[in-house]
Amino acid sequence: MRFALPERWSVQRIVKILLGALLLFVVFKGVSATIADGKFTAAAWKSLITTGLALGSLYALIAMGYTLVYGILFIINFAHGEVFMSGAFTAFFVARTLNNSGFLNDQPIISIAILLLVSMLVSTTIAILLERIAYRPLRGAPRLVPLITAIGASLFLQNTFRGLYGAKVRAYPEIDILSGTVNIFSFVVGKDQLLVIAGAALLVVALYLFIERTKTGRAMRAVGEDKEISALMGIDVDKVIVTTFAIGGMLAGAAGVLWAINFKQVDFYMGFLPGIKAFTAAVLGGIGNVVGAALGGLILGLLEGVAPALLLTGYDVPSPNQLKDVISFSVLVFVLIFKPGGILGSDEPDKV
Amino acid sequence: MRKPRWFSFVALLFVLSLVAAACADDEPSSTDSGGDSPTAACDEDEFGCVEVAAGDAIQLGTLLVIVGENSALGLDSQYGVQIAVDMYGDIEGHSVELVNEDEGCTPEGGTTGARSLVSNESIAAVIGTSCSSAGEPAAQITSDAGVVLISPSNTAPSLTDPATHQPFYLRTAHNDKIQGAAMAQFVGEDLGLKTAATIHDGSPYAEQLQQVFADTFTSEGGEITGQEAILVGDTDMKPALTSVAAAKPEFLYFPVFVAEGGALAAQGRETAGLEDTKFGGADGMLTPDWVEAAGADNAEGTYLSGPDLAFGGGFYEDEFLPAYEEAYGDPTAVFHAHAFDATTMVLNAIKEAAIVDGDSLFIPRTALRDAMFATSDYAGITGTLTCDENGDCNPGATISVSQVVDGAFERIWP
């Protein structure tokens, strides 16, 4: 080939650059048209941003469970959404009882602590059982096998909880100290949203420190590197894996209660969509990477909250929020085109 | 792993048997009518006859949402169907039996349920569906198979629009052209509100209903400040609510279903800009399950439109309701009477179209359809029913508006 392009100007690269330019143009045009349109006030934008942050924090918490398990076992635990649901749904009944007795609003802080505890306990138990029953017997099997059991376990849990608690959608009791808003840097934030954002941030930082600073955390990282060598070095691999599932379950349980407080509803199917979205967030941030999952969750939440209004109002799209999933999944696709390992992931090819 | 040699052979056999089964399903109507049907009417009928042998029951299908969060709507209708069947008695010595399927309030559920029902050759007609989203594919499937489908609660205008109407589809529910206009009139004239916004969930029911509302509201001098949408299954309603709240509308109309409607009411109460906004919905949320999904405090004061159940005439209150309450308790939704009327119309039409042959019964499918569409000035519970050529049987339907007061529905208009 006489006119062969230099290595760094491959066709793929040119297509990517053109695609990127087109994308930037579309986004820029949409955003500037929206701002010129002036339909939304500054207060409305700030409200959309806090909404997105709250949703993103919850995605981040759930995404931890996906990313931790993937980082160590290289399987995708598709039943994680149900682990999330099981805690929230069980805590609903505790919340209702506390509400009926008046305790919920007499001692709101203690009540929220009780709810979190119950939810985390149930979710952790379910996560540990899941590992013991659905995944450990298949530890040596090809990676597709646990993927299928995960889907089976997910359906099983959904229908078990539907049988236990019924198919009705339940309204979570209101907690009086969480209604109303506070002003932070001119952002009007709902108190429930504040709890969600602060709680999620706290838990994610705690998890990061746990993994980086503690002995168990180091053992987890070691097992993620190589299970056999870790075992030779005296690490109890089974115990580390159970711990991983337990931590994922705990965070999912906490996310469940925060979700219910923020969105005011629970039902047996509530884990499915958040599960898929959190998995998306984990992939977006780079699956296997804890910081990546947190970042991916926040980005996805902000995209869902702000992007439809910001991007599509300018194009006069009717009811833009209906297209929020289109936007967030398009972003996922584009991120994976430019950075196949996710935002913070490694780019080495890896089959799932 | 190497597959054994016989694997491909077994796989081939399996595929062939599937093909054979699929073909077999399509054939029986022609062999049946050619083989042992004694009547020429069955041979002439494009879709053949339903045969009810001596001693067998006439089978009717129901395709309603009887499982999941919207089950209150479908179960209420199913009870109405059951009461109608019980009260009607035998037809030419044959009892009537129901085959109940779920439609899940989704297009997928409607498709699966309708396929399953039409594959059963002995089902004469189907009462369903509950939700318009399930009704669209179901009407197509039953019409292709020549099975009458009559809905007690589909209200989306498109189902009986001449351009999209399926030939075997009818309904006793009101058309949302009536409901949307009534709600707009109530909001504009009786509440005296000037600005309104709407949120729908992309289902044919909600999308078309809010559009009728918006058009009527605008034509009567009101202003629509925004039309937003969410997705079925969403829990985070705040972005959509914040979008409509920017214009601070006086009225927010979200005629969706139980789960999403509950979340909209609960999250809408705390959205900045909607503090003084009045909320409204429609018959998809007119069930105690919605109040539970929203939380009684959040549901309080919401206006919901639905069929006017003050029917007048003694039968509904003196005979139907006591029978219903004795068997199933208090009604959980508002379409049981429409289901009763639909079922009775089907049974009347079967009686008219059926050909008696000794102890057995032959029901030509097209003749049954024609008998249904010929229903005229039939005095049902829900009014005087006359079916037009597009399948709307309740042109005189009246709408009432209820308000949630202390967690219960209170009729306030007209």
A87 touches chain B (CB under 8 A): no
Asked if B159 and B211 sit in the same domain, the reply is no
B242 vs A267: CB contact, 8 Å cut-off? no
pLDDT of residue A3 exceeding 70: no
Residues in chain A: 352
pLDDT of residue B81 exceeding 90: yes
Residues of A in contact with B273 (CB under 8 A): 44
**pLDDT (tens digit, 9 = 90+) per residue, B333-370?**
999 999 999 999 999 999 999 999 888 999 999 999 99
Asked if B184 and B268 sit in the same domain, the reply is yes
Domain count, chain B: 2
Interface size A-B, in CB pairs within 8 Å, comes to: 116
* Mean pLDDT (whole number) for A280-302: 91
For chain B, the average pLDDT equals 89
Q: What is the ipTM of this complex?
A: 0.82
% chain B with pLDDT above 70? 91
Asked if B59 and B145 sit in the same domain, the reply is yes
pLDDT of residue B192 exceeding 80: yes
Asked if B98 and B246 sit in the same domain, the reply is no
Going from the N-terminus, what domains does chain A have, and what CATH number goes with each?
A: 39-338 (1.10.3470)
**Is B120 part of a structural domain of the chain?**
yes
Residues of A in contact with B266 (CB under 8 A): 171, 263-265
A328 touches chain B (CB under 8 A): no
Asked if B147 and B117 sit in the same domain, the reply is yes
Spatial CA neighbour of B173 closest among B289, B329, B309: B309
Buried b (16+ CB within 10 A) or exposed e, B285-298: bbbbbbbbbbbeeb
Output the pLDDT for position B16. Answer: 61
A170 vs B266: CB contact, 8 Å cut-off? no
Output the pLDDT for position B35. Answer: 44
DSSP-derived 3-state class of residue B71 = helix
Asked if B163 and B182 sit in the same domain, the reply is no
- Asked if residue B306 lies in contact with residue B255, where contact means CB atoms within 8 angstroms, the answer is no
Better pLDDT: B148 or A342: B148
**Facing A171 at nearest CB: one of B229, B233, B266:** B266
Asked if B282 and B191 sit in the same domain, the reply is yes
Domain end marker among B250, B279, B301? B301
**Is B39 part of a structural domain of the chain?**
no
**Is B280 part of a structural domain of the chain?**
yes
**Is B156 part of a structural domain of the chain?**
yes
Question: Residue B262 sits in which domain range?
Answer: 177-301
**pLDDT (tens digit, 9 = 90+) per residue, B151-174?**
999 999 999 999 999 999 999 999
Asked if B265 and B339 sit in the same domain, the reply is no
pLDDT-derived band at A2, boundaries 50, 70, 90: low
- Asked if residue B353 lies in contact with residue B92, where contact means CB atoms within 8 angstroms, the answer is no
A40 vs B246: CB contact, 8 Å cut-off? yes
**Is B149 part of a structural domain of the chain?**
yes
B263 vs A167: CB contact, 8 Å cut-off? no
Cβ-Cβ contacts under 8 Å for A152 (sequence gap 6 or more):
A134
Q: Spell out where chain A has E strands.
A: 170-171, 181-184, 187-190, 265-266
Q: What is the number of other CB atoms lying within 10 angstroms of the CB of residue B332? A: 18
Spatial CA neighbour of B145 closest among B113, B118, B124: B118
Residues of A in contact with B230 (CB under 8 A): 321-322
Q: Categorise residue A180: left if φ over 0, alpha if ψ from -120 to 50, beta otherwise.
A: left
Residues of B in contact with A43 (CB under 8 A): 272
A324 touches chain B (CB under 8 A): yes
Asked if B169 and B181 sit in the same domain, the reply is no
**Is B1 part of a structural domain of the chain?**
no
**Is B4 part of a structural domain of the chain?**
no
Asked if B198 and B242 sit in the same domain, the reply is yes
Cβ-Cβ contacts under 8 Å for A226 (sequence gap 6 or more):
none
Asked if B287 and B353 sit in the same domain, the reply is no
**pLDDT (tens digit, 9 = 90+) per residue, A158-213?**
999 888 888 888 888 888 888 888 888 888 888 889 999 999 999 999 999 999 99
A265 vs B266: CB contact, 8 Å cut-off? yes
Asked if B236 and B384 sit in the same domain, the reply is no
> What is the rounded distance in angstroms from the CA atom of residue A259 to the CA atom of residue A251?
12
**pLDDT (tens digit, 9 = 90+) per residue, B174-184?**
999 999 999 99
Residue A187, φ and ψ in degrees, nearest 5: -90, 125
| CATH code: domain of residue B230 | 3.40.50.2300
**Is B406 part of a structural domain of the chain?**
no
B236 vs A51: CB contact, 8 Å cut-off? yes
